[in-house]
Amino acid sequence: MTAQKAQCTPLEKVRVLQRKLYRAAKAQPQRTFGVLFDKICSLEVLWVGWDQVRRNRGAAGVDGETIESIEARGTLWFLLELREELLKQRYRPQPVRRVFIPKPDGRQRPLGIPGVKDRVAQAAVKNVIEPLFEGSFRPGSYGFRPKRSAKQAIYDIRKWVTYGYDKVIDLDLKSYFDSIDHELLMKLVQRRVRDPRVLRLIRRWLKAGVMHEGIREETAIGSPQGAVMTP
């Protein structure tokens, strides 16, 4: 009898890639990564991105295309088409669809909903570059990070209380996502990411614009809340 090697799932392959990138970034805090686009375009990375978007469901973007319509047409065909667009530099993001949700104080919070294709592409980029930035975060940082939650932050606070700390500083930046400086953001991203094709994708998402009541608005600053890449 001969033992056959078990086939790795796309998720397992992506996790192996993420661990390699994280370790490299952690070991070399000043290192920049210049070859990332090929990893983003791999079918495994795109498939994992699709699965994440599918599980989150979410509404359609400006094109009206839904998760269900893509599944009915064929998920593999959809991913192969997106992969070809990326590889041939034909991919262009659509404007995000602007919706408003009520806040507890009576005001409304603007959300930007990208199309499903754009969400999958963003998820693919996020899954590849996130480990690079994770290597630079401090242990006490909890916001918008994988496998971290508010409960863990509370646990950390309780620990410091037992050490005698008795003051908390509560700090919030007003309308932060709406006022992000694109040029400053791109300079910070380039501390880790140097692949020009990846940087071009991120810039295009930032500049994709917002569609509200049939009118496209330019996005000179800010990043839409609701997009996969924004956090």
Is the pLDDT reported for residue 182 higher than 80? yes
Q: What is the per-residue pLDDT across 60-119, written as a single tens digit (0 to 9) for each?
A: 999 999 999 999 999 999 999 999 999 999 999 999 999 888 888 888 888 889 999 999
**Strand ranges inside the chain, DSSP E:** 96-102, 108-113, 210-212, 215-217
Task: Please give the pLDDT value at position 93.
Answer: 97
Beta bridge partners of 225: 227
Residues 6+ apart with CB under 8 A from 105: none
Instruction: State how far the Cα of 138 lies from the Cα of 11, in Å rounded to an integer.
Output: 26
pTM: 0.90
- Say which residues have a Cβ less than 8 Å from residue 8's Cβ, sequence separation at least 6: 16
Average pLDDT of the residues of the chain:
92
Residues 6+ apart with CB under 8 A from 26: 135
* Across 174-180, average pLDDT: 88
Task: Pick the range with the lowest mean pLDDT from 122-131, 170-179, 183-192.
Answer: 170-179
Q: What is the pLDDT of residues 14-41, one digit of tens each?
A: 999 999 999 999 999 999 999 999 999 9
Selected residue with higher pLDDT from 75 and 156: 75
Q: Is the separation of the CB atoms in 93 and 204 below 8 Å? A: yes
Whether pLDDT at 3 is above 80: no
Q: Contact, 75 vs 189, CB < 8 A?
A: no
pLDDT digits (tens, 9 = 90+) for 38-53: 999 999 999 999 999 9
Which 3 state secondary structure label does DSSP give 155? Answer: helix
Residue 52 is classified by DSSP as H
